[in-house]
Amino acid sequence: MCRRADSYLMDVLRRNLGVDHQAVLGWHDQHDRTTIAHTLADRVAAIPAFASSTSLFVPRGHLLTREKTLSLKRLVEFPFVSYPRGFAIRLTLDKVFDEAGLRPQIVCTATDADACKKYVEAGMGVAILAKVAFDPVADVNLFAMNVDSLFQPSTVQVVLRKQAYVSRSMYSFISTWAPHISQQMIRKVLEGGGTASDPRRTRTLPPIEQLARATIA
């Protein structure tokens, strides 16, 4: 895959991981909700590809950067920037806080990570976004904090139409960024001869950051 295509793919991932899209990539959160519409369930197949963790995005120098250990109770003391309701990461955010009996104050919403980061940079609040959304070059005024102990990883999936013809170039594209997904696995799922097993229970998926490192190299 050419470097330009790699950069474009990573730009799409940084902007849209956690957004409710029904395109090349799908998303499952830890509570098994899917962003693939139920009306498409009989027409598409989803193959788990990568695990995607989240980070807490704050302005550099923010009070939370001084904390040795983060807690939901501490986070809820600060205003939040988030995706609108119904978006994958927002569903996870609401669920985790709700189970803890807490309610974060969402002061504004945006439909992509770049916009959320701009609001955070402007001091409007903090944000839970996909870890891969952090760009060390562009986000010099932001700090991405580890929140793996508070929010479990989600699953990024390859989504294809069932019974569809998959060209050699498409197989090549998929294998370039997800070599652990074999042509045999894809054919089996698309032809209805089986379903991709849930990797969260059978094996550990490679982190989405691995894709970022591969495309930058």
Q: Which residues are bridge partners to 52 per DSSP?
A: 154
- Region 78-88 average pLDDT: 90
Structure tokens at 50: 């990568």
* Residue finishing a domain among 87, 118, 146: 146
CA distance 197 to 202: 7
Q: Which of 146, 162, 190 is the last residue of a domain?
A: 146
What is the residue-wise DSSP string for 69-121? Answer: S--HHHHTTS-EEEPPTTSHHHHHHHHHHHHTT----EEEE-SSHHHHHHHHH
**pLDDT of res. 41:** 61
- Provide the pLDDT for residue 209: 65
Residue 51 is predicted with a pLDDT of: 83
Range(s) of the domain holding residue 129 = 54-146
Cα distance between residue 73 and residue 128, in whole Å: 15
Confidence of residue 82 (pLDDT cuts 50, 70, 90): very high
Does 103 share its domain with 48? no
Q: If pLDDT is split at 50, 70 and 90, which confidence band does 21 have?
A: very low
Q: Are residues 38 and 89 in the same domain?
A: no
Q: Do 135 and 190 reside in the same domain of the chain?
A: no
Q: For 40-73, b where at least 16 C-beta lie within 10 A, e where not — what string? A: eeeebbbbbbbbbbbbbbbbeebebeeeeeeebe
pLDDT at 196: 53
Last residue of a domain, one of 146, 169, 185: 146
Average pLDDT rounded to a whole number, residues 6-16: 48
- In this prediction, residue 61 carries a pLDDT of 95
Share of the chain above pLDDT 90, in %: 40
Please report which confidence band the pLDDT of residue 193 belongs to, taking 50, 70 and 90 as the band edges. Answer: low
Average pLDDT over residues 108-136: 94
Structure tokens at 93: 């955010």
Same domain, 128 and 106: yes
For residues 109 and 54, give the distance between their C-alpha atoms in angstroms, rounded to a whole number: 17
Q: Assess whether 16 and 73 both reside in one domain.
A: no
- pLDDT tens-digit map of 49-72: 888 889 999 999 999 999 999 999
Look up residue 82 and give its amino acid: S
Regarding whether 205 and 176 lie in a shared domain, the answer is yes
pTM for the model? 0.71
Helix (H) or strand (E) holding 196: none
Note whether 110 and 116 are within 8 A (CB).
yes
**By the 8 A CB rule, do 190 and 160 touch?**
yes
- Give pLDDT, residue 11: 53
Q: Give me the pLDDT at residue 159, please.
A: 82
CA distance 156 to 24: 10
**Number of separate domains in the chain:** 2
Residues 140 and 169 in one domain: no
DSSP assignment letter at 205: P
* Mean of all residue pLDDT scores within the chain: 77
Over residues 99-112, the mean pLDDT reads 95
pLDDT above 60 for 161: yes
Whether residues 112 and 158 share a domain: the answer is no
In this structure, the answer to whether residues 181 and 105 fall within a common structural domain is no
pLDDT tier at 22, thresholds 50, 70, 90 = very low
pLDDT band at 211 (very low <50, low <70, confident <90, very high): low
* DSSP bridge pairs for 160: 45
pLDDT greater than 90 at residue 23: no
55, 94, 135, 185 from 76: Cα distances, Å: 15, 12, 25, 43
